[in-house]
Amino acid sequence: MTENATIFIPDISGYTDFMSKTELEHSSHIINELLDLLVQSNTTACTLAEVEGDALLFYRKGEPIPLADLTAQCLDMFQNFHTLLKVIERDSICQCGACQTASNLTLKFVIHYGTIKEIKVANFVKASGVDMIVAHRLLKNKIGSNEYILATRAYLDHNNGHAADKLAWQTAFEEYPAVGKIDFQYALLETIKSALPDLPPRETPKLTLSEGALELDIAAPMLTVYRLMTDLGNRKQWANGVIDAEGDKPIDRLGVQHRCFFEDVTAEITPAHSDVRDDQIHYVEFSHIPKMGLKCFADYMLMKRGENLTHAVIKVGMAPGHELPPEAVAAVLQNYQASGESFKAFCESHV
């Protein structure tokens, strides 16, 4: 039995280059974050039929979704999508290609209305039919942008025949083999994107650094040392006393907490500052051990001394109101000292 339905496809452009030319693990996580966000932004009770790598296929049976409701959902999705990309750009501590180029991803939408047939495959319900093919074909068109809302004539005829809202709509058509001519209107979203506010910068933590410091010369490139230092999930490989570690998210970013488990206590570690330059890197992370009431910072300064030589200076900073007596600071630095040679060997083994 066929039924009428609104077909709605948000599609991420730049996906193929992003996935094929960047680190697969982080690019996959970023795409998943973006797709999850789009699903959470579905406010029109559409059914999610499929996740197609870089696109989501939604549909809602019955009368067409009002244009005002669907364009409002598109704009919410678009703004949420680009706000998350701004967060990734601001908070990324990872220097991999995926984390550094995620802001190049773009988003477009196709809206169509027609007939579908639901078929059951194993435990999944799949929507099929010619109008599903039409909606997918329209993702490939001659519009000179990758960010727009496209609504077909078949959909618009059920919304007074034209797209009447605050967006600047243009009329066009495409012809496809076996499908024929498809009339549509589209609205570019560049002005919406350019109007999005910049995120406020994260504040650089103000801390009082200890007098003593741990200094290491590591026979490894500076970026390698930085990557291994900031990979909090691998702390158990070199940090003194760490039995295991887990994080709130699979990608380490500023403000994302990890927990390092020791025999008697758990340390909550949160990256707080990262400044990566050609010749030096400054990285700060906040540590909180609730059981001990300890709140402090670890301040790492990495300096490039050659292509395969990095000088590292590690100091301890106290959080305001949590200043420790000199003997406690010495004990914390001693713990870092115990980890220093392990970290040096760990880095040099990854060259």
pLDDT, tens digit (0-9, with 9 covering 90-100), for 133-158: 999 999 999 999 999 999 999 999 98
Structure-token match 């074909």, residue found: 137
- Do 157 and 256 belong together in one domain? no
Same domain for 37 and 161 = yes
Final residue of a domain: which of 165, 194, 223? 194
Domain span at 82: 2-194
pLDDT of residue 128: 85
If one counts the domains in the chain, the total is 2
Between strands 148-152 and 106-121, the pairing is parallel
CATH number of the CATH domain containing 69: 3.30.70.1230
Alpha helices in 49-96 (DSSP H): 67-91
Q: What's the pLDDT score for residue 163?
A: 57
Query: Looking at residue 279, which CATH number applies to its domain?
Result: 3.30.530.20
Structure tokens at 66: 């009002």
Evaluate whether residue 182 is within a structural domain: yes
217 and 161, same domain (yes or no): no
Same domain (yes/no): 107, 152? yes
Q: Which of 164, 194, 224 is the last residue of a domain?
A: 194
What pTM does this model have? 0.89
Are residue 223 and residue 117 in the same domain, yes or no? no
Q: Are residues 161 and 242 in the same domain?
A: no
Please report whether residue 202 resides in a domain: no
The whole-number pLDDT of residue 292 equals 80
Q: Within the chain, which residues score under 50 in pLDDT?
A: none
Same-domain pairing of 187 and 317: no
pLDDT value for 161: 55
Please indicate, yes or no, if residue 227 is contained in any of the structural domains. yes
Give CA–CA dist 104/97, Å, rounded: 11
Q: pLDDT digits over 122-132, tens only?
A: 777 788 889 99
Q: Of 168, 194, 220, which marks where a domain is finished?
A: 194
| Residue 199 within any structural domain of the chain | no
Same domain, 179 and 221: no
Asked if residue 17 belongs to a domain, the reply is: yes
Identify whether 200 is part of a domain. no
- Length, in residues, of the chain: 351
234 and 91 fall within a common domain: no
**Is 244 a member of any domain?**
yes
In terms of domains, do 53 and 166 share one?
Answer: yes
- Whether 278 is in a domain gets the answer yes
- pLDDT for 334: 76
Structure confidence at residue 15 (pLDDT): 78
42 and 125 share one domain: yes
Q: Rounded to whole angstroms, how far apart are CA atoms 152 and 77?
A: 20
Q: What is the pLDDT of residues 223-244, one digit of tens each?
A: 999 999 999 888 889 998 899 9
Compute how many other C-beta atoms are within 10 angstroms of the C-beta atom of residue 100: 16
pLDDT of residue 164: 53
Q: What 3-state class would DSSP assign to 281? A: strand
Nearest residue to 216 via CA among 347, 350, 341, 349:
341
Report d(CA 258, CA 106) in Å as an integer: 30
The answer on 246 and 187 residing in a single domain is no
Bridge partners of residue 60, in order along the sequence: 6
